[in-house]
């Protein structure tokens, strides 16, 4: 099958990682894959590293004539069976260009809401395939009027291959950060903002850190709450045991330094890529019972599920895994197996191809949480 991806992003975050992982897995599976990308973007670089042919363009906005012309050129040269994008601002442009050129269209949606009625309720009927990345997202869109029979579910692919193993191992990264081998490290990865539950997390973990002198926090990410969190840590005399490293493309290095990953979001997330990644890196996890987070792991098998906004329950869960290292290790081992079974790129690519079926076939597939 020939597939052309289109992306205009200048970032390298979760949505972009989804595209790179899926495109790379499809190419490794023997499909002909190419991509129209923003020149100089992380996506362009990462796809090049994966051996995917790219067409680089300036791309300013969904209707940028340069981007449109590059897309037309790519379609003429590659004759793809499908054009695929997960960039919302490109939806209508990609649909129109592909339709005029007689190519089938598949769209991905990574956010739980679509504000515009035309995009939410009409576009899924016009394109050939429309995917979301969790059952939660599908139910949310359907409750807002989106056509249920036109929304397919395909989880995020999480690369578990040895190609992307950490450059630095646990001991190396801990030594760099000044973390002792026997310290228990609670990790947070993502945008450091209130919706991610960072205030709830700090209020839950600060008393535990005061009680357990070998407990530390490792925060990987940036955002408006970083300075506040650092000030509170210093004021509590815990600054030396709270490590803030900012955002990095080498997240796996820092997963390796953690004992536990906590995702205490208080606002709905479509999925929770960091929980899936943490499991693939052999970490126990704690996640909020909100949005698509419960679909990213196996509660009570690879981690613990807590109610959002419930600091006491979150504190109890962290304490439980700190005190029971054997349980923490069992969750970590189970999580790695769970990630490989449900989120391995090769598996997601196979499901994607099966869901596409024959162009314009009208066939849709929606995958259960536990195949």
Evaluate whether residue 364 is within a structural domain.
no
Evaluate whether residue 296 is within a structural domain.
yes
pLDDT at 121 over 50: yes
The sign of the dihedral angle between the CA atoms of 166, 168, 173, 176 is: negative
Q: Which two tokens stand for residue 290?
A: 């909100």
Residues 6+ apart with CB under 8 A from 235: none
Q: Let me know whether 187 and 251 are in one domain.
A: yes
Q: What percent of the chain has pLDDT over 70?
A: 94
Q: Let me know whether 167 and 153 are in one domain.
A: no
Q: Let me know whether 85 and 135 are in one domain.
A: yes
Element (H, E) at 312: helix 311-323
Element (H, E) at 278: helix 273-280
Q: Let me know whether 31 and 54 are in one domain.
A: yes
Model confidence over 244-280: pLDDT tens digits? 999 887 888 899 999 999 999 999 999 999 999 999 9
Evaluate whether residue 366 is within a structural domain.
no
Q: Let me know whether 193 and 130 are in one domain.
A: no
Q: Let me know whether 220 and 238 are in one domain.
A: yes
Q: What is the CATH number of the domain that holds 8?
A: 3.40.50.2000
- Residue ranges making up the domain that contains 267: 162-342
Total of domains in the chain:
2
Evaluate whether residue 190 is within a structural domain.
yes
Q: Let me know whether 261 and 319 are in one domain.
A: yes
Specify whether the CB–CB gap between 138 and 224 falls below 8 A: no
d(C-alpha 34, C-alpha 3), whole Å: 7
Model confidence over 317-331: pLDDT tens digits? 999 999 999 999 999
Q: Let me know whether 10 and 108 are in one domain.
A: yes
pTM for the full predicted model: 0.91
Q: Let me know whether 265 and 350 are in one domain.
A: no
Residues 6+ apart with CB under 8 A from 72: 97, 101
Q: Let me know whether 109 and 67 are in one domain.
A: yes
d(C-alpha 20, C-alpha 47), whole Å: 6
Integer Rg of the chain from CA: 21
* E strands present in 179-265: 184-189, 215-220, 242-244, 260-263
More confident position, 167 or 79: 79
pLDDT in the model for residue 11: 86
Q: Let me know whether 129 and 229 are in one domain.
A: no
d(C-alpha 127, C-alpha 145), whole Å: 17
């Amino acid at each position: 099958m020939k597939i052309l991806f289109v992306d205009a992003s200048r970032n390298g975050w979760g949505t972009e990682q989804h595209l790179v992982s899926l495109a790379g897995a499809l190419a490794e599976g023997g499909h002909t894959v190419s991509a129209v990308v923003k020149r100089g973007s992380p996506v362009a670089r990462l796809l090049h590293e994966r051996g995917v042919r790219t067409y680089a363009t300036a791309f300013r906005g969904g209707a940028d004539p340069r981007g449109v012309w590059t897309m037309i050129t790519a379609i003429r040269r590659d004759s793809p069976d499908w054009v695929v994008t997960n960039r919302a601002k490109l939806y209508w442009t990609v649909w129109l260009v592909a339709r005029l050129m007689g190519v089938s269209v598949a769209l991905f949606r990574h956010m739980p809401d679509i504000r515009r009625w035309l995009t939410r309720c009409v576009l899924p009927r016009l394109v050939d395939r429309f995917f979301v990345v969790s059952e939660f997202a599908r139910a949310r869109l359907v409750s807002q009027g989106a056509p249920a029979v036109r929304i397919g579910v395909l989880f995020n692919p999480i690369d578990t291959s040895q190609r992307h193993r950490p450059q630095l191992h646990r001991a190396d990264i801990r030594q760099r950060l000044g973390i002792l081998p026997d310290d228990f490290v609670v990790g947070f990865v993502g945008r450091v903002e209130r919706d991610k539950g960072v205030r709830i997390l700090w209020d839950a973990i600060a008393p535990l850190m005061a009680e357990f002198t070998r407990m530390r926090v490792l925060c990987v990410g940036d955002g408006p709450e970083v300075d506040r969190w650092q000030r509170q840590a210093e004021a509590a005399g815990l600054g030396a045991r709270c490590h803030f490293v900012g955002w990095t493309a080498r997240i796996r290095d820092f997963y390796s330094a953690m004992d536990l990953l906590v995702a205490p979001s208080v606002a709905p997330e479509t999925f929770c890529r960091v929980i899936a990644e943490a499991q693939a890196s052999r970490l126990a996890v704690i996640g909020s019972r909100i949005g698509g987070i419960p679909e990213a792991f196996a509660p009570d098998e690879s981690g613990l599920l807590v109610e959002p906004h419930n600091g006491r329950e979150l504190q109890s869960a962290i304490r439980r895994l700190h005190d029971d290292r054997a349980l923490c290790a069992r969750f970590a081992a189970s999580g790695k197996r769970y990630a490989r079974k449900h989120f391995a790129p090769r598996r997601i690519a196979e499901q994607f191809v099966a869901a596409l079926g024959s162009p314009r076939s009208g066939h849709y597939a929606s995958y259960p949480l536990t195949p």
